Structure 1
Amino acid sequence: MKNSSKNPLKFSDFFNSWLNEHYYKQGIYIGKKGDFYTSVSVGSLFGICIAKKILSLKDKFDGKISIVEIGANEGYLLADIVQGIYTFNSDALNDFEFCIIEPHEILRKKQLQTFKEKFGDEIEIRHFSILDEAKFNEAIFISNELFDTFSCEVVDRDKMLFIDNFIPKFEKIDNKTKELAKKYKITKGEIPINLDIFLKDIYNSCSKFSFITFDYGDIKAKGDFSLRVYKNHKVYNFFEIENLENFYGKSDITYDLNFGILKNEFLKFKDVKFENYSSQQKALLDFGAVDILDILLKKGGEIAYKNGASQLKRLIYPEELGTRFKMMEFSKGLK
């Protein structure tokens, strides 16, 4: 990817090209074989906890519910959710359909393969390439590490980041980015763009929904850069990389989510209700993680219990994923 020094790329365009035109388009792996781990990589307990949460919401809906994962990668999280629902209440599977929003063809194929391997022909996936084409009656939206993939601008007071032949340069901020920085009260750091369009698509996709997302970040701006690159499970400060071209499109680029921006943007829709914000640690415990361990002990014995307990430790302990990751929940039109 080359650009003329007379016309350097806005960072948001560079970021989008890196992830969507190259990295994710290649059908990358997450976990041991990839560049980074997520909570899904720990094991099935994360998805099983979400399944228990979903079942607790079921009575707030009136009809068949679409469980919709956005950014499913290989499809393991949604498969774990299906397995969790079956374990808790096999009859309840008939009350749901399972959907994935996925723009990348290679990843859609991987998701279908995951479901085929786990469920044969018993469970079907409805695929949608883009969100604004997806329409549901009632839905529960799930995402894990989604918003850190949204293109962003990077600002430092009166300057914004550009990329000139893989060299980062701060130059005069444009008016649009200046307004966003003012709106979000960010003087130094990353500013997600097109978040309002995404949330509008969620809002318009159905009359009733629950929206649950997990990501790393905080409720307010840090006042500093969080932009970084993961390659082979090593983390690199974006601004300290000397050979940026060697990482471009071949590794993960990410930044911390400002959950305060997400909350403020979603609540602009008058009938969207803010439900909860917490650490992943608290969220999974509130979802019923301890009760799930008891079920594992009764149904699977001591080995299953110890495996589940080991996963839970990694998911909730501060030195692992427990406090670095947060959960935010919204709803529309629920009883």
Structure 2
Amino acid sequence: MIPFRDYMRAWLYGPDGYYSRFKAIGRQGDFYTAVSASRFFGATIAHEMIAKVREGVLSPSLWLVEIGAHQGYLLGDMIEWIAQEAPELLETMRFGIVEPFEALREAQRRHFAERFGDAVTIGHFKVPAEVGAAEAFVVANEIFDAFPCDLVFKGKTALADPATHRIEFGGEDARALALAARYGQEKGEVAYGYEDFARALSNLAEKLLFYTFDYGEKEARKDFSIRIYRGHEVHPLFEEGLDLSRFFGRSDLTYDVNFSHVIDAFEGAGFTTLAYKTQLRALTEMGLVELLEQLAKRGDRALYLRELNKVKTLIDPQVMGERFKMVAFGQGIG
């Protein structure tokens, strides 16, 4: 048997893993994201980036980089908004995606070619250090919930049999148990890789801002949240009678993020925590309402109402508004 984190890594990132190939997101996929809900998600983040350039926090020659880009919709939405609000930046900025899987890189190339033709060039990088920028604005949506995790229960860690998909609590992984004790967990998920990711991201640029959105809380849950998404149906991993062989590599496997762990990992890598907010508050403060008002002033009320309904998904406290959080980190920011 192997540590559960290795089982989850194979499930999601192995040669035949769920994320090794392009998957549809939204109505035709297994789940929705903020990006699939409304293009104003990306527009609002782009508006925030433009504000940081105009404030002098970052220069007009910065890189805009997405990590965990899937097909590249978020980065594309941001570029479209930059073209509307600050088209001059398209002459000075550069754009990139950190993506280790070639199949996803190819899907991203196709998407940007169809969307922008030759007007926008996207650089692809396997790891953050390959970007090597002086300045960068980095964005990620729902990546921390997809990091492999260990499972802890009453002083033991989970082991899994890849052949039978049987899971039992017979391990004694010292690192996982130490982190569980740090965050007061007797039962639940302990993410693996946050620290390495934060250190790797610090090598992307000398000066950078990193904005990321995910679902979870500032405190670790006291129970298992790990679950499977397939065709918009949710199955707790330990659901009675669930045959994991039917889902392995074919479905998303995710859990609630412990943002205290994320923040500790980034501060340990030398970052400064700039903000931690609900998605509702973050998007509102970054100007989402003002951007919608600009659309309303154009006079196409039908379009405005369609987009307003989509935006409600992002900020409704009962949907994504409160459950999703934004955390922002800075490096080299004065």
Structure-2-length-normalised TM-score: 0.94
Partner SS state of residue 28, structure 1: coil
Render the CA deviation track for 1:144-181: whole Å, top value 9, x for unaligned.
00001111101012111111220111114222322232
Match of residue 159 from structure 2: 162
* 1:97-112 equivalent positions in 2, closer than 5 A: 97-112=94-109
Name 2:70's counterpart in structure 1: 73
Partner of 2:146: 149
Q: Which amino acid aligns with 1:107?
A: L
Identity %: 36
Over the aligned positions, Cα root-mean-square deviation in angstroms equals 1.4
Partner residue of 1:262? 262
2:205 counterpart residue number: 206
1:206-285 matched pairs, under 5 angstroms: 206-240=205-239, 242-270=242-270, 272-285=271-284
Note the residue ranges of structure 2 that are not aligned, 5 or more in a row. none
Give the distance between the partners of 2:190 and 2:69, measured in 1 at CA: 24
- The one-letter code sitting in structure 2 at the alignment partner of 1:259 is F
- Whether 2:53 is the aligned partner of 1:60: answer no
Which secondary structure state, in structure 1, belongs to the residue aligned with residue 137 of structure 2?
Answer: strand
Instruction: State how 1:1-335 maps to structure 2 within 5 Å.
Output: 8-21=1-14, 22-58=17-53, 59-62=56-59, 64-164=61-161, 165-240=164-239, 242-270=242-270, 272-299=271-298, 301-335=300-334
SS at the partner of 1:60?
A: coil
Q: Alpha-carbon deviation of 1:309? A: 1.1
User: For 2:156 and 2:313, how far apart are their aligned partners in 1?
Assistant: 40
- Preserved contact between residue 63 and residue 138 of structure 1 (Cα < 8 Å): no
Determine the C-alpha separation between the residues in 1 that align with 2:287 and 2:213: 16
Query: Could you tell me whether the CA contact under 8 Å between 1:49 and 1:289 is conserved in 2?
Result: yes
Q: Write the letter of the residue equivalent to 2:78.
A: I
SS of alignment partner, residue 51 of structure 1: helix
Aligned partners of 2:72 and 2:261: how far apart in 1? Answer: 28
- Secondary structure at the residue paired with 1:15? helix
SS at match of 2:242: coil
Range 106-115 or range 175-184, more displaced: 175-184
Residue-by-residue CA offset, 1:296-324 (whole Å, 9 max, x unaligned): 12236212321221121111002221111
Asked whether the 8 Å contact 2:60–2:89 carries over to 1, the reply is: no
| Deviation for aligned residue 1:94 | 2.1
Q: Which stretch of the first structure deviates more once superposed, 306-315 or 126-135?
A: 126-135
TM-score by length of 1: 0.94
Check conservation: 1:168, 1:239, Cα contact below 8 A. Answer: no
Is the helix fraction higher in 1 or 2? 1
Distance across 2 between alignment mates of 1:204 and 1:63: 20
Structure 1 gaps, min length 5: 1-7
- Distance between the aligned counterparts of 2:200 and 2:94, measured in 1? 20
Which deviates more, 61-70 or 204-213?
A: 61-70
CA deviation after TM superposition for structure 1 residue 262, in Å? 0.8
Aligned partner of 2:11: which letter? W
1:312 maps to a residue whose letter is V
Instruction: Please say if residues 133 and 204 of structure 2, whose CA atoms lie closer than 8 Å, have aligned partners that are also in contact.
Output: yes
Moved runs in structure 1, 4+ residues, more than 6 A? none
